[in-house]
Amino acid sequence: TKARVTEVQGFIGKYEVHIETESGLTNIDIGVIIVATGARTLVPQDLYNYDGEWVITQLELEERLKEGLNKNVKNVVMIQCVGSRNDERPYCSRICCNQAVKNSLRLKELNPEARIDVLYPDMRCYGLTELDYRRARLAGVNFIRFDPEKAPAISASEDGIEVTVYDPSIQMDVQLNPDLLVLSTGVVPRDTEELATMLRVPRNDNGFFIEAHAKLRPVDLASEGIFMAGTAHGPKSVTET
């Protein structure tokens, strides 16, 4: 810990890695390298009036559910694809829809009378998580699809939060007044430009590492003897990671 790779030389079976630590520079000889730099959740500082108190992320909601959610929270609105599937980050972050459905079901368990509205451009509950999506619908969670060109509008005042979204099913604007607004934020890569240059391995336009071959060598990087694991490759659920 508290160490940084400063230089990588050599080849498979005979890599020499220079590591800078608090006590100085250390050189080690190793056979292979595993890149597991991971990713992080986007912090939506300038999106949807995020304040970390009444407008929070799904991860922050999970922390509150664990600690004990305020009993006055009875109406919750969730907005999907915050910070991803846009011009800056065109990719799907994969975990957001499943996370929203899971947390919606948990809120319904705590308070079956709670109103939960999930605003989404697309719900992508792939695999067996489609069953959780169905459970959420049956539990009364309301899903409203919106056009990304007409993103929900947020206004905040002393009286609370107001969310306005166009509902194509009834072809009119819907106004919601949640006690809590939850943003399903995207997954973004860590800053690995310096590391990728040292290892001489490519990254895609989004900043994630690219495997040698998607089918034949899915965990190998282009340079021999260098492998990757987890979300260094792209957004993944815990199971996929």
Give the residue-averaged pLDDT of 5-17: 95
- Whether 58 has a pLDDT exceeding 90, the answer reads yes
Q: Is 219 helix (H, G, I), strand (E, B) or coil?
A: coil
Look at strands 33-35 and 172-176 and give their pairing. unpaired
pLDDT digits (tens, 9 = 90+) for 174-224: 999 999 999 999 999 999 999 999 999 999 999 999 999 999 999 999 999
Distance CA 110, CA 108 (A): 5
Give the residue-averaged pLDDT of 68-73: 87
Q: How confident is the model at residue 70 (pLDDT cuts 50, 70, 90)?
A: confident
Give the residue-averaged pLDDT of 145-173: 91
Q: In the prediction, which pLDDT does 235 show?
A: 95
pLDDT digits (tens, 9 = 90+) for 98-135: 999 999 999 999 999 999 999 999 999 999 999 999 99
Q: Model pTM?
A: 0.89
Q: In the prediction, which pLDDT does 157 show?
A: 80
Q: How confident is the model at residue 156 (pLDDT cuts 50, 70, 90)?
A: confident
Instruction: Tell me the DSSP string of 127-159.
Output: TTHHHHHHHHHHTT-EEEE--GGGPPEEEEETT
User: What are the helix (H) ranges across 48-121?
Assistant: 58-67, 96-110
